[in-house]
A and B are shown apart, each in its own frame.
Chain A
């Protein structure tokens, strides 16, 4: 089993969609929210995903395909 810590950023039109619940139904991945902030026009969630690595990767791709921005928790790692 693998664990990944990710940050999901939702634009306004996605805020009302229960996408994290859908992700857990669609894939064999356990989601564990640690921090979040949702405003009128935007939301972000920092969470841990636990499951087989390939399944986690498929779930992250699915999230991106739904218009969610997916980033590593520490922000960008590639530096100048």
Chain B
């Protein structure tokens, strides 16, 4: 049994029963899952959560699924790492990295898709669908395989082969659409209306989005049941950003943490930064952009939750920053070289965005800061490959090795005999 008890329109507040629908019939505003929080308050505790599985499903009381029927491939409860080396480089004292590269398909999308797939099974859909350039496609394909559902995944026709394999291995029906980004969006909207599929980010979207809250719950638990002072989160649709904040608020309301006003900061790549642009102009009105950035996983030109993300920034005293593509690569390298974490481009956006926020004085060095790294670097290795030092090529002799090392490093390390 789930404690979810209705869908509610974020715009006009009208309520609907828990069905596969995503917009208010009256105003076409987005719907959100609402819960019987009083009932949850009666049962939830630190002990109950801590005795749950070491996955995102330890927070099942706050997710819209029957906990006995969840589709779980081992998602969540990923490491929260105290990032001392990176903190020193940036001039911070208490920096943590939430490393969601370690999910089963190597991105945070497993959280939302695990919820969407579980709900799709409860609603008795036989097909899971999505449109994606990478992470979401991988996760939908994997979860459908685990759940015994058919998967149909729409991808752009020009998608790199490496990204196709991460989905194709699970044997979904892959459909490569030859058209502009806008054409693919329009087609998917029409398909969502026409076919009785669980289209994870259309008719299942209110449920799907709830999976992102588990990032906030985990951070609180891993910090010793407290919220951080500041979060830095990558912005694409804005959904992840708003749901992390919702997670903090729910935990505080349920008495699991003391309320502390966590400041929420978002980061985008300059080549697709409609939310940052609105923030800089001081408006809640997000103007769609045509994406042109190497940070493809964040390339949403018309973000569904941009308005709500801006409201959260305003409410929490947070903000938003955009970084250039070269900064994205610098951020990826900095995280790898200081903390041993190889993140995809979205991680580079977060780390370089964080650096800008510290340098501008927006973030105080004493704050407890959590940076969210949402996907693994092997997914976007082609963007960093040209920026990395090539291997030293030598013939198999000691002299050749020492000559090459001397040339690269300028000095040789001390040998065993001094």
Contact = CB atoms under 8 A, between A and B. Distances in A.
For the complex, would chain B's binding face be called helix, strand, loop or mixed by DSSP majority? mixed
B26 A80 contact: no
A12 to B, nearest CB: 12
Given A35-B11, A42-B285, A71-B288, A77 B297 contact: no
Interface in B174-195: 181-182, 184-186, 188-190, 192-193
Interface string A33-70: 01101010010001010000000000000000000011
A75 interface: yes
A1 interface: no
Nearest to A56: B190
B346 interface: yes
Contacts of B188: 72, 77-78
Contacts of B287: 9, 42
B312 interface: no
A73 interface: yes
Contact of B303 (A5, A9, A34, A75): A75
Contact of A80 (B11, B27, B30, B296): B296
Interface residues of B, number: 50
A53 to B, nearest CB: 8
A73 B306 CA distance: 13
B298 interface: yes
A80 B186 contact: no
Interface string B270-305: 000000000000000101100000001111111111
Interface string A1-43: 0111100010000000000000000000000001101010010
Interface in B290-340: 296-306
B130 interface: yes
B28 A80 contact: no
Interface residues of A, number: 24
Contacts of A72: 185-186, 188-189
A78 B153 CA distance: 10
Contacts of A48: 28
Given A35-B11, A35-B28, A46-B28, A76 B237 contact: yes
Contact of A76 (B27, B156, B185): B185
B205 A9 contact: no
Contacts of B301: 76
B104 interface: no
A37 B283 CA distance: 13
A74 B30 contact: yes
Instruction: Choose among A39, A42, A46, A78 the residue with the greatest number of B CB atoms under 10 Å from its CB.
Output: A78
A30 to B, nearest CB: 15
Given A5-B28, A35-B29, A71-B288, A77 B298 contact: no
Interface in B156-184: 156, 181-182, 184
Interface string B108-145: 01000000000000000000001111111000000000
B237 A73 contact: no
B237 A75 contact: yes
B236 interface: yes
B192 A80 contact: no
A40 to B, nearest CB: 12
A9 B302 CA distance: 11
A51 to B, nearest CB: 14
Interface of A: 2-5, 9, 34-35, 37, 39, 42, 46, 48, 69-80
Given A73-B189, A75-B302, 15 more contacts: A3-B193, A46-B27, A70-B186, A71-B182, A74-B30, A74-B189, A75-B237, A76-B181, A76-B304, A77-B184, A77-B189, A77-B202, A78-B133, A78-B300, A80-B296
25 contacts: A4-B190, A35-B28, A35-B29, A39-B285, A42-B287, A72-B185, A73-B189, A74-B30, A74-B201, A74-B202, A75-B303, A75-B305, A76-B185, A77-B131, A77-B188, A78-B133, A79-B109, A79-B131, A79-B237, A80-B132, A80-B133, A80-B134, A80-B136, A80-B298, A80-B346
Interface of B: 11, 22-23, 26-30, 109, 130-136, 154, 156, 181-182, 184-186, 188-190, 192-193, 199, 201-202, 205, 236-237, 285, 287-288, 296-306, 346, 375
The 6 tightest CB contacts between A and B, nearest first, are: A80-B297, A75-B304, A72-B189, A77-B188, A78-B131, A79-B136
